[in-house]
Amino acid sequence: MKLANQVAIITGAGRNIGEEAAKLFAGEGAAIAVVDMDRGRAAKVAGAIESAGGRAKPYVCDVSQEDQILDTVKAVAADWGRLDILVNNVAISDNKHILEITKAEWDRVLAVCLTAPMLFSKYAAKEMIAGGRGGKIVNVSSTSGHYGRTRAIAYTSAKAGVINLSRSLAIQLAAHNIRVNCVVPNKIGSPVGKDEFNPDRKVVNLRNRPGEPIDLARAMLFLVSDDSDFIAGAELFVDGGCAVMMPGDG
């Protein structure tokens, strides 16, 4: 097992990509802190993992609140006795034009998509350092962090910030044997913040299919396992190759 006896926090783990990563990591031996704002979703995923023979526990957290982030990290470390892995997966989108978005909407998206990964990384890193074993952090950005969009402004800005946040975290935490990397998906699973997956959702990529949550979960597993021990501060595109395509080509 690639993650035997390790403890992982996965945010937004009550559905979609986070749920798939939680189940995959658990299958590789990790104990999973299933973090979600929805208690029912978190409990359902944790229960499914335990029913399959794994170890998991639900944790309810509004990631826009620093005190709840700190309490969650401390609770996980206390419950499991260690912390080895953090996946900052949770996200929301504004889907707004600059002429429509309010400051409150802007602030909420940045709080969830950019400030929360910073705070979770800060407090998780402190626990990892205290444990003396190092650790691994994976942040989830998006191809929207590299390109502008017609119907989102806060989300694109936040996801761009996640990329450089990951680089800076990788540099600053390297001395503590904490590896930090970033994954860059495109239209994987359900749209951000939604439960429903539409198999007919239009995608343009080199694989000619929509991305599925397991596609990103496997990339995350690689980045938190010893298979990627010599990789730090990297962006791993899990986008079916869409980012290498020139618009209008062909």
What are the backbone dihedrals phi and psi of residue 182, each rounded to the nearest 5 degrees, phi first?
Answer: -135, 140
User: 59, 123, 147, 155: which one is catalytic?
Assistant: 155
Q: Are 11 and 18 in contact (CB under 8 A)?
A: yes
Strands 31-36 and 235-238: unpaired
- The residues facing 10 across adjacent strands are 34, 87
- DSSP per-residue string spanning 22-37: HHHHHHTT-EEEEEES
Q: How far apart are CA 56 and CA 74, in angstroms?
A: 16
188: DSSP letter = B
Could you tell me the sign of the dihedral formed by the alpha carbons of 226, 217, 11, 162, in that order? positive
Question: Is-catalytic flag, 147?
Answer: no
* Catalytic residue annotation: 155
